[in-house]
Amino acid sequence: MNLTENFTLSEMTKSETALRHDMDNSPPQEITSSLQALAVHVLQPVRDHFARGVKVNSGYRSPDVNAKVGGSRTSDHCRGMAADIEIPGVPNHELAEWVKANLPYTQLILEFYTRGVPDSGWVHVSYDPANLKKQDLTAVKEGGKTVYLPGLHA
């Protein structure tokens, strides 16, 4: 099923963890609608602007899959409202800055980006049409723990 011209339901629900552990990662219809909204309002505009394929590292996660990967119990991935993305050849900081300047979103996180290593980390973006607060964060490791800093830091 196509969610937009360039994004399919199967790529938004693909999970290596689910495959390895024989877990069902099929979303109910209301979550499919949320995935489509995310694709229409965020992912497709990113694809159109950069004119390159967008790699979805993680989209929808069923609650069981989310628990298996150690995700937050309140993760927008479980609601079909978040994706972790990157575009090979485009620095993730540049991708995050473009999303921040041009698109509606709920949360934008530059995850584990290393200055001078353009393809390091990834960009997490969530889209909840009822809460487009445009929160920007940068995830870094400090003392072995993930810490979220306000703003985007390259």
| Contact between 148 and 137 (Cβ < 8 Å) | yes
Residue-wise pLDDT for 77-130, tens only, equals 999 999 999 999 999 999 999 999 999 999 999 999 888 887 889 999 999 999
Using a cut of 0.85, tell me whether the model's pTM lies above it.
yes
Residue type, 78: C
139's CB contacts (< 8 A; 6+ apart) are 109, 110, 111, 112, 121, 124, 146, 147, 148, 149
Largest CA distance in the chain: 43
In terms of Cα–Cα distance, which of 83, 92, 110 is closest to 14?
83
